[in-house]
Structure 1
């Protein structure tokens, strides 16, 4: 059964598609795009019910992200990244979500999680300094999650290294307005943010390792819903890869629209060219397989938790492997049809070239780097426990 939010996104799809050009031109989501996402409720899908959310099955969340990205890649990307933040907020000290959503359940939260700052312990919490890249949708957010390393007495990262996720209100950080000039996903407005000595109360922090383990953070927060027991490195990539696959579905739809009436370079309609039709079918099958594989991975882990089971490192590693592979498969499929779309497909006025650029930039995210994860998952299959860096982002 289609989730009500997914149904609303599909009803609003034409309007969302109409915002894509302005969003790209502005370098951030247009006001209309933000209003439509709020109307659909995408950002509240993983939000706790008591704060106006749906606490939805993550499969439904991924389908909503894909539905948005299919018509506007940048908006879908912001939904995929920002839509996971309410999930993590549910794992925090109960005082914090009350601060964030107490007056407005539609308050958005930004990130990034890369530990690009230092959190120095002080009485009652930490002081934070650093500069972070890639804060997607940050212009529309009133709070932010940031990754940070705990500092030692000498002002360098303490040993052993300890990583935190910390949360700040908008008044405590600066957005660098001219820091997002890119060739794809331009409308995400993924700008840099700077923090210069802000105080972070301890209750606005959480250990990154506990979040990665899933159930540990849920237990500390008193959460019993299955969705909040899933691991971070399963949930966070879900939204990002969901956006990439949705973008690829949009590219396929744009290609089909473009090819229906097109006459090929050697004369005759493209629909009579068996080679172009072969490429369309192969690409469509690969993109569909990517969607199925992404949704299957999250559903299997959810079902494991729902049945009272546990999720081990090997389980996380194999789901991450498949998630990475389905992103690459879908973007490769887009390359095959874009290469057969003719010279006019590269003109700025065609949506196909925008989807093509957005898909490739989405593939650049760190969670889509295949090498270390493929290495790790292969070792797991061989019965060897991966160590050190091979456990990163898993």
Structure 2
């Protein structure tokens, strides 16, 4: 397995080195509705797949800037490839950081740290407390990256003597189980408009015993492994950074493609190229500026929170709200940029097989996700306004 030198651009370079392969495999990935073995194998052989992990699990514990730029690069190459990046990499990061020593040894050490993990962290399951662990039942949808994962993450609510456990008033305990693939039943219902190659299968389990050692709390910020600020910030900020970066990467691919197309694109009955039209020039300037502003907002929000945690300060509700709002805003801007590029490209953007056409389908699929919905912005605004003290889901 390739070792990763800890330099500022090393992980981004690993992703960039996959450009030719991802482009060549994109159509086949869509056909089989999950990443091809060639793409997955290269993610491992290059070191990209484990790069976000704690050092103990073969990673380098990158900064938020490194994570964001890597995800932008992956999504720029292909929306499904980028989406798998924000599914598999954070899943193994979380499990490696937050599993107990016993669970880490079983999942990571026993597999020489070669652990591909995907799934749904939202608590759609119930885990009845039994001796040594939980009896898990549940059904999960949109298990991103599960098409090629050896381990599956599944969020659940612990049930003790018929009752949920509560962290505080209105907030139940929420845990995540790490399940070997062979113990999970899959329903191949992934027939969708966009993000076709993400292998985001539905899955479920019935009366499955899960040892406590292979579970961790969803909102924990206390790592067993890893020293980076990200490990002390929990899953929500990492997930939010992923969604923002993914949207920015897909939108950038469309802006780049329509700019390249513009020199040779002539609309019907128009003697001037697209590039020579002032309306196109104004639109390109506006949307590139908006994209850059959104990217800078994302970097500012996440690195500000990261610096606070690195300095030993609390990750306050306001800092968490800032990060989530940045992710929502970047997603909105990215969608606007994508829509403009799609319209500007004319019929070129509707032809199957082009990156423009695929990216447009992908962004209108990925931006439906609840993690970057308007409710997130409302929750954040209520914190800023003092209407609520906190929203743990941020």
Q: In the alignment, does 2:107 pair up with 1:100?
A: yes
- Does the 8 A contact of 1:176 with 1:191 survive in 2? yes
Alpha-carbon RMSD? 1.9
- Tell me the equivalent position of 1:253: 256
- Tell me the equivalent position of 2:240: 237
- Tell me the equivalent position of 1:174: 185
- Tell me the equivalent position of 2:230: 227
- Tell me the equivalent position of 1:184: 194
- Deviations for 1:22-66, whole angstroms, at most 9, x for unmatched residues? 111111011222123223323222212122111111321221121
- Does the 8 A contact of 1:23 with 1:29 survive in 2? yes
- Deviations for 1:191-225, whole angstroms, at most 9, x for unmatched residues? 0111111111112122224x2xx2xx22xx26543
Q: In the alignment, does 2:82 pair up with 1:76?
A: yes
- Tell me the equivalent position of 1:313: 317
Q: Residue 111 of structure 1: which of 119, 122, 125 is its match?
A: 119
- Tell me the equivalent position of 2:141: 133
- Tell me the equivalent position of 1:24: 30
Following TM superposition, by how much is the alpha carbon of 1:234 offset from its aligned partner in structure 2, in angstroms? 0.7
Alpha-carbon distance between aligned partners in 1 of 2:207 and 2:173, rounded to the nearest angstrom? 19
- Tell me the equivalent position of 1:293: 297
Q: Residue 346 of structure 2: which of 333, 342, 358 is its match?
A: 342
- Does the 8 A contact of 2:240 with 2:371 survive in 1? yes
- Deviations for 1:315-371, whole angstroms, at most 9, x for unmatched residues? 10121111111111111111112112112321113210110111111101111102x
Describe the SS at the equivalent of 2:208: strand
Aligned residues: 381
Unaligned runs of 5+ in 1: none
Alpha-carbon distance between aligned partners in 2 of 1:165 and 1:258, rounded to the nearest angstrom? 46
Q: In the alignment, does 2:45 pair up with 1:39?
A: yes
TM-score, normalised with respect to structure 2 = 0.91
Q: In the alignment, does 2:263 pair up with 1:263?
A: no
Unaligned runs of 5+ in 2: 1-6
- Say which is worse superposed, 8-17 or 345-354, in terms of deviation: 8-17
- Does the 8 A contact of 1:16 with 1:68 survive in 2? no
TM-score, normalised with respect to structure 1 = 0.91
- Does the 8 A contact of 1:244 with 1:363 survive in 2? yes
- Tell me the equivalent position of 1:382: 385
Alpha-carbon distance between aligned partners in 2 of 1:319 and 1:61, rounded to the nearest angstrom? 14
Alpha-carbon distance between aligned partners in 1 of 2:212 and 2:254, rounded to the nearest angstrom? 45
- Tell me the equivalent position of 2:280: 276
- Does the 8 A contact of 1:42 with 1:65 survive in 2? no
Following TM superposition, by how much is the alpha carbon of 1:237 offset from its aligned partner in structure 2, in angstroms? 1.7
